[in-house]
């Protein structure tokens, strides 16, 4: 058949309202949207990143993403606000399509404001669905008024000479669910902390900290919770001494993929193994990283027939994907999944993966016991009910335990308590016993609330073999506070 010649060309602009409506339904979950916006902050060199939910006591009114990165001048901001921006990105960039800022924001609300400060100068722009529908009109905002919004970020860091604040408003999703605001915020915090902790676990630590908090619209302070790294390969000891094992895959003419096969030890319940899932079997398979950002957390991508196999629950493979593979692996807009080409699955036949999964299944079937540190539990000095329930909560049925005794003893007048590590005994100063008892009769298991609270405060450090300077200083602070509290209690009883 012959090609049909063109007779003319005409421009057909997209229907702005339909485009933004499609963007709001592109498929971002709140955690995927948050991760996309955190990408931008990390690319900007931020050491501090804050995700904040602002509410009026009944509903979430806006979502803020703040960072102390390099910030942008007006030209850079306008380029960032462009849909499908063509600004150059380095090979180490976490961004890809030039769409993340806009698509992530409009997946959660109908208004996007970006306020940024670079070298002390503030620039700000705003997109709303109404403005886009009116002809793709982006508002440039008053920089002085915008600066006052930046100044509202005063904890856990400040945006002083440089940094960026993203404000998503007109929230069009019911983020808090049906159980009320407080329960909804707790669920959001837990879900976001798990997702961001996993996706960015290689970044979190000395270089980068992510916080999540919630505040009321009137400015009432909330409590910023730092996100902990959730490392899917942070096992205490390998399930097999021959692993981890490194190998490479070279599908076609593209650069080689560096891979590392890991076998977790059996009988694990740690956060790194569970990865916030009730079914750790679903976490077996490939963990694909792009510039150290986790794109895929588990799954075999069609390499194994039958999908999830419980006997492979301990098998995980880290794959380092160069940016040159973005197109070949069909990285999606949310940067949350990829499609491995057939050439990749074919190349796997030349790797040691078959032997690896067989060995992982053998380790699983043997359920080899792995030495783990004992868990501190209450011992002598506590009532039977507290001891039994605390052991159940803290150690479960399988973990080894080590009992900690708390007793009264003669101590120097400037000490409320001391710790004997070798004997695993906490000694309380008997000089304060009558003050704490409030006239009650003394016994071996007296003042159970005081003892339980002190045990819970110290339990993570009670079984350490060595004292660090930080721990010694912490003990001094706790002792000083308890001495002050005891003195206040004594003065009250004299009144």
Q: What CATH number is associated with residue 138?
A: 3.30.565.10
Whether 151 maps to a domain, the answer reads yes
Integer Cα distance of 290 and 279 in angstroms: 25
125 in Cβ contact with 140 (< 8 Å): yes
Residues 60 and 158 in one domain: yes
Q: Which of these, 411, 416, 407, 420, lies nearest to 435 by C-alpha position? A: 416
Q: Which of these, 398, 317, 399, lies nearest to 355 by C-alpha position? A: 317
Whether 36 maps to a domain, the answer reads yes
Q: Which of these, 410, 381, 416, 407, lies nearest to 489 by C-alpha position? A: 416
Integer Cα distance of 290 and 203 in angstroms: 12
Residues 152 and 87 in one domain: yes
Q: Which of these, 352, 370, 321, 367, lies nearest to 244 by C-alpha position? A: 352
Integer Cα distance of 5 and 2 in angstroms: 9
Residues 440 and 457 in one domain: yes
Q: Which alpha helices (H) appear in 121-224, and where do they start and end?
A: 129-133, 143-150, 181-199
Per-residue pLDDT tens digits of the chain, which is 495 residues long:
777 666 666 665 565 555 555 555 556 789 999 999 999 999 999 999 999 999 988 889 999 999 999 999 999 999 998 876 555 555 555 554 456 788 889 889 999 999 999 999 999 999 988 888 777 888 999 999 999 999 989 888 999 999 999 999 998 767 766 678 888 888 899 899 999 999 999 999 878 999 999 998 876 666 678 999 999 999 988 999 999 999 998 887 778 889 999 999 998 888 899 998 878 899 999 999 999 999 999 999 888 877 789 999 999 999 998 887 877 777 665 566 677 888 888 888 888 998 999 999 999 998 644 456 688 888 888 888 888 888 888 877 667 888 888 988 888 888 898 888 777 888 898 888 888 887 788 888 888 898 988 888 888 777 665 556 667 777 888 888 888 888 888 887 776
Look at residues 314, 348, 366 and tell me which one is the last residue of a structural domain: 366
**Length of the chain in terms of residues written:** 495
Residues 120 and 25 in one domain: yes
Which residues are CB-contacts of 17 (< 8 A; sequence separation ≥ 6)?
Answer: 129, 132, 133
Whether 312 maps to a domain, the answer reads yes
Domain count, the chain: 3
Look at residues 342, 366, 390 and tell me which one is the last residue of a structural domain: 366
Whether 137 maps to a domain, the answer reads yes
pLDDT attached to residue 444: 84
Residues 82 and 99 in one domain: yes
The CA radius of gyration of the chain, in Å to the nearest whole number, is: 28
Long-range own/partner contacts, residues 10-13 (CB < 8 A, 24 or more apart): none
Whether 7 maps to a domain, the answer reads no
* Phi and psi at residue 315, to the nearest 5°: -95, 120
Residues 26 and 145 in one domain: yes
Residues 252 and 222 in one domain: no
Look at residues 308, 331, 366 and tell me which one is the last residue of a structural domain: 366
Whether 1 maps to a domain, the answer reads no
Residues 113 and 166 in one domain: yes
Integer Cα distance of 48 and 37 in angstroms: 13
Whether 464 maps to a domain, the answer reads yes
Domain containing 421 equals: 375-494
Integer Cα distance of 457 and 449 in angstroms: 12
Residues 66 and 188 in one domain: yes
Whether 255 maps to a domain, the answer reads yes
Residues 152 and 249 in one domain: no
Residues 43 and 141 in one domain: yes
Integer Cα distance of 65 and 149 in angstroms: 12
Residues 422 and 353 in one domain: no
pLDDT attached to residue 97: 42
Integer Cα distance of 233 and 333 in angstroms: 26
């Amino acid at each position: 058949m012959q090609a049909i010649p063109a007779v003319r060309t005409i421009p057909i602009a997209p229907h702005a309202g339909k485009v933004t409506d499609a963007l709001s339904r592109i498929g971002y979950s709140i955690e995927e949207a948050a991760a996309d916006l955190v990408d931008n902050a990390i690319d900007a060199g931020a050491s501090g990143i804050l995700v904040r939910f602002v509410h009026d006591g009944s509903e979430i009114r806006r979502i803020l993403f703040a960072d102390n990165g390099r910030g942008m001048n007006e030209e850079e901001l306008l380029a960032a606000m462009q849909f499908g921006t063509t600004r150059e990105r380095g090979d180490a960039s976490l961004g890809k399509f030039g769409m993340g800022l806009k698509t992530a924001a409009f997946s959660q609300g109908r208004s996007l404001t970006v306020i940024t400060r670079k070298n002390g100068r503030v620039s700000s722009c705003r997109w709303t669905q109404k403005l886009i529908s009116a002809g793709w009109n982006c508002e440039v905002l008053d920089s002085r008024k915008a600066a006052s919004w930046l100044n509202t970020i005063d904890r856990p860091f400040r945006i002083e000479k440089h940094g960026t604040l993203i404000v998503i408003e007109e929230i069009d999703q019911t983020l808090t669910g049906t159980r009320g605001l407080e329960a909804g915020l707790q669920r959001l915090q837990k879900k976001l902390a798990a997702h961001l902790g996993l996706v960015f676990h290689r970044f979190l630590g000395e270089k980068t900290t992510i916080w999540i908090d919630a505040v009321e619209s009137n400015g009432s302070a909330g409590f910023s919770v730092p996100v902990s790294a959730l490392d899917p390969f942070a096992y205490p000891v390998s399930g097999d001494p021959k692993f981890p094992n490194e190998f490479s895959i070279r599908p076609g003419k593209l650069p080689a993929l560096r891979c590392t096969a890991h076998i977790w030890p059996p009988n694990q319940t740690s956060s790194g193994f569970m990865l916030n899932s009730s079914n750790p079997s679903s976490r077996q398979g490939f963990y694909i990283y792009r510039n150290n950002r986790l794109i895929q957390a588990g799954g075999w991508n069609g390499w194994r027939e039958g999908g999830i196999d419980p006997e492979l629950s301990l098998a995980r493979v880290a794959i380092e994907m160069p940016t040159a593979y973005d197109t070949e692996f069909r990285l999606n807009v949310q940067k949350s999944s990829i499609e491995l080409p057939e050439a990749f699955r074919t190349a796997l036949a030349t790797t040691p993966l078959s032997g690896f999964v067989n060995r992982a299944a053998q380790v699983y079937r043997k359920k080899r016991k792995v030495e783990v540190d004992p868990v501190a539990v209450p011992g002598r000095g506590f009532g039977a009910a507290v001891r039994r329930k605390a052991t159940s909560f803290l150690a479960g049925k399988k973990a080894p335990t080590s009992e900690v005794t708390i007793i009264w003893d003669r101590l120097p007048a400037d000490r409320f308590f001391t710790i004997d590590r070798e004997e695993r005994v906490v000694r309380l100063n008997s000089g304060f016993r009558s003050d704490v008892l409030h006239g009650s009769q003394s016994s071996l298991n007296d003042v159970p609330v005081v003892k339980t609270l002190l045990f819970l405060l110290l339990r993570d450090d009670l079984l350490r073999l060595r004292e660090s300077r930080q721990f010694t200083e912490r003990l001094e602070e706790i002792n000083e506070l308890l001495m002050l509290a005891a003195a206040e209690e004594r003065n009250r009883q004299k009144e």
